[in-house]
Amino acid sequence: MLVERAYAKINLTLDVLRKRPDGYHEVDMVMQTVDLSDLIWMDVKESGIHLDSGASNIPLDDRNLAYVAAQKFLQTAQITSGVTITLEKNIPVAAGLAGGSSDAAAVLRGLNRLFDTGYSVDKLAEMGASIGSDVPFCVYGGSAVAKGRGEQLTRFRHNLKAWAIIVRPPIFVSTADVYGALTRDNMSEQPRSQQMVDALLRCDFEQVVGLVTNGLRPAAERLYPEVKEYADRLSSTIGQPVHMSGSGPTLFILTPTMRRAQRTYNAIRGFMKEVYLCRLI
Ligand code: ATP
């Protein structure tokens, strides 16, 4: 039996460049891991894949990315025994935080250890790409520029100390619908990822905050006006810029110190139910 942590991500930049002939959108984004995590216990079982979770809002069959990852791993490694997977969900579901992708990545890492298969991290990331666009990033974690569908990664390391207060408004957002609602005006010819990487490498917090961008936000706010209402309310209450992660509805605020993060967290706790204080890792 072993346990793996599956960390959430936020997007520090997200530019949509164009729609591709295969239906996917070409993106350019800076992905950043935060220390909000699911916990995944894995053990060997005689046969089959048994997925279990206390969370009632996720499927436990082959619609769950953790399950798909186990299938993929066992098949690739030609392992005939089965596994039990127990998922403790702490990352909000369908929130733009890559919770499912991160669970899949953690299952790949965990089963590699459990069966002592010896696959490299790169091999696990390659396996992950067939499960979902965000899975390769989640296999590595940390910071990366992601291009293509999000699976082409250039990883980098920075030493900026920063915290994120993550707020999940109680709104259902469909990622497919948000992408579907993009107009030409929402596409970008000049992605900001390189400027963001430079600012992170310089540990320039103010510049990082000034560069945070999300090309999906106008479409998400058009489709779901409540996203904008929550963002405006948060921003006027705390007097700081409020950003959106992925296709939403999750919003986040960056702070340069733990003290400020705690103050912001306390201010928001009064009127929002789902608030998380995390560190960029
Ligand atoms: P992304 O940021 O990559 O778009 P997300 O954070 O918006 O992902 P998830 O939490 O991964 O979204 O959930 C999206 C959908 O995937 C949910 O509707 C859920 O039913 C399904 N899903 C499949 N596997 C999982 C999982 N392990 N955890 C959460 N949701 C999962």
- List the domain boundaries for the chain: 2-156, 163-279
pLDDT the model gives residue 78: 97
**Mean pLDDT throughout 210-217?**
97
CATH superfamily of 163-279: GHMP kinase, C-terminal domain (3.30.70.890)
Catalytic residue among 38, 103, 134, 147: 134
Indicate whether residue 58 lines ligand 1 (CB < 6 A): yes
Torsion (CA) 204, 213, 128, 38 in degrees, nearest 10 = 70
55-108 tens-digit pLDDT: 988 999 999 999 999 999 999 999 999 999 999 999 999 899 999 999 999 999
- Our answer to whether residue 123 is catalytic in this structure is no
Which DSSP string corresponds to 204-226? -HHHHHHH-EETTHHHHHHH-HH
pLDDT at 111 > cutoff 90: yes
Evaluate: CB of 180 within 6 angstroms of ligand 1.
no
Has residue 189 got a pLDDT over 90? no
Helix axes 65-76, 99-114, angle to 10 degrees: 30
Q: How many CB atoms lie within 10 A of CB 122?
A: 11
Q: pLDDT tens digit string along 237-270?
A: 999 999 999 999 999 999 999 999 999 999 999 9
Residue 139 pLDDT: 98
As a whole number of angstroms, the distance between CA 162 and CA 160 comes to 6
96 among the known binding-site residues?
yes
Summarize pLDDT for 126-177 with one digit per residue, the tens. Answer: 999 999 999 999 999 999 999 999 989 999 999 999 999 999 999 999 999 9
Distance CA 39, CA 87 (A): 6
Residues 19-61 pLDDT 10s: 999 989 999 999 999 999 999 999 999 999 999 999 988 999 9
Give the list of residues 6+ apart from residue 78 with CB closer than 8 angstroms, or none: none
Share the mean pLDDT of the chain.
Answer: 96
Which CATH number applies to 2-156? Answer: 3.30.230.10
Write down the pLDDT at residue 255. Answer: 98
Amino acid at 126: E
CA distance 253 to 261: 9
- Examine residue 225 and say whether the peptide bond preceding it is cis (omega within 30 degrees of 0): no
Atom of ligand 1 nearest to the CA of 89: 28
Mutate to test the pocket of ligand 1, among 39, 93, 149, 175 (most ligand atoms within 8 A of CB): 93
